């Protein structure tokens, strides 16, 4: 069972998302629409994860973090990057990749890598999809890319000779494409 992360104690600000029940249903009080789910495999830079928390809060996407993390979740840089959005985001922490797969057994998994041959815009995303991103600066390791749960490998186009995008920026591009395909459901 994933751990639910919360930066603030309940009740110190507006009520934020609650954890899910064992059945996967949103707990009472969480006004949730699902776009897709962002998964960071062993993230190393707290500011990127803080930005992803903010991204999750403004899009309604869930953020799943796979341990080990390269920082403590209470780190000031993470909190500063997420501003006051921490209590508005649904973030789950999983002990390892197998635990994440067990928590989301039926989801399609799209691994983002610069080595892929299919563009991220060539996929018809579904609300239960997992958008998997690797750690900074190495990306997803070969053993993760070879995992049988990976549905497909995708890339985000860049100019030739560039190494990669910032992790939070890559996640933002991908989740906004998934949300665009859903006609920005739930947005104003």
Q: Does 7 reside within a domain?
A: no
What is the pLDDT at residue 74? Answer: 76
Question: Is 102 a member of any domain?
Answer: yes
Provide the number of structural domains found in the chain: 1
In a domain, 125, yes or no: yes
In a domain, 5, yes or no: no
- CATH number of 58's domain: 3.40.1280.10
Any domain includes 17: no
Residue 168 belongs to what domain range?
Answer: 31-181
What is the per-residue burial (b if ≥16 Cβ within 10 Å, else e) of 29-50?
A: eeeeebbbbbbbbbbbbbbbbb
CA dihedral 132, 182, 50, 73 (to 10 degrees): -60
Task: Give the pLDDT score at 89.
Answer: 86
User: What is the pLDDT at residue 84?
Assistant: 62
Q: Is residue 24 part of a domain?
A: no
Q: Is residue 154 included in any domain, yes or no?
A: yes
DSSP-derived 3-state class of residue 162 = coil
Judge whether 25 lies within some domain. no
Q: What is the reported pTM?
A: 0.82
* pLDDT tens track, the chain, 188 positions: 555 554 322 222 222 333 332 333 443 333 455 789 999 999 999 889 989 999 999 999 999 999 999 988 876 766 655 456 667 888 999 999 999 999 999 999 999 999 999 999 999 999 999 999 999 989 999 999 999 999 999 999 999 999 889 999 999 999 999 999 999 999 98
């Amino acid at each position: 069972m994933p751990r639910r992360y919360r930066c603030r104690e309940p009740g110190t600000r507006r009520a934020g998302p609650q954890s899910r029940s064992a059945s996967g249903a949103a707990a009472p009080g969480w006004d949730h629409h699902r776009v897709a789910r962002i998964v960071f495999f062993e993230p190393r830079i707290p500011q990127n994860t803080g930005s992803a928390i903010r991204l999750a809060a403004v899009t309604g996407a869930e953020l799943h973090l796979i341990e080990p993390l390269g920082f403590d979740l209470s780190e000031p840089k993470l909190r500063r990057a997420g501003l006051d959005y921490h209590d508005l985001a649904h973030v789950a922490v999983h002990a390892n990749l197998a635990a994440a797969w067990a928590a989301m057994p039926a989801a399609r998994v799209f691994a983002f890598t610069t080595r892929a041959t299919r563009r991220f815009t060539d996929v018809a995303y579904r609300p239960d999809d997992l958008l998997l991103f690797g750690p900074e600066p190495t990306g997803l390791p070969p053993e993760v890319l070879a995992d049988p749960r990976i549905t497909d490998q995708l890339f985000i186009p860049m100019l030739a000779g560039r190494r990669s995008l910032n992790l939070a920026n890559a996640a933002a591009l991908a989740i906004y494409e998934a949300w665009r395909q859903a006609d920005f459901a739930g947005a104003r």
